[in-house]
Amino acid sequence: MADTAKTLLVVPICMVTGRLPEFQGLELGLEKCQKSLNEYLDSKRRIFPRFYFISTDELLSILGSSEPSCVQDHMIKVIKLKLIRKLQLIVVYYVFVVINLNF
C-alpha cells in the first residue's frame, strides 16, 4: 500500500496482484472498529440517557473534550430538543381534546 501515495492513478494501483484481499482485510478491520465504537457509545448512552438525543458526532465531541463548555453547548441542544418535543405533545393533546369536545 505504500506505493499508492506515489501515483495519482487509481486503476493501476487497484490492479496490483493481491490488492483485493488487502482491501477486504481493511474493510473488515473498519467494520470491526465501527462496531466497537458504536457499542462504546451505546454504553455511554445507557449511563446518561440524554445522550440519545444528540448525534454520534456530537457525542464523540463531548467524550473527546476535557472542557466543560463543550458539554454545555451540546446539552443546550438537548434541552431545546426536549422543550420542542414537549410543545409538540401539548399541541397534539390540545388538538385531540378540541376534536373530542366537538363530537
Task: Show pLDDT as tens, one digit a residue, over the chain (103 residues).
Answer: 677 778 888 888 888 888 889 989 999 999 999 999 999 999 999 998 878 878 888 888 888 887 777 777 776 776 777 777 777 777 777 776 666 666 5
Q: What is the pLDDT of residue 98?
A: 65
**Lookup result for grid cell 414537549:** 86
pLDDT of residue 80: 73
Give the distance from CA 20 to its chain's centroid.
Answer: 29
Statement to judge: residues 4 and 35 lie in one domain: yes
42 with 53, same domain: the answer is no
Provide the domain limits for residue 34: 1-47
User: What is this structure's pTM?
Assistant: 0.58
Set of cell numbers at residue 69: 463548555
Q: Are residues 36 and 11 in the same domain?
A: yes
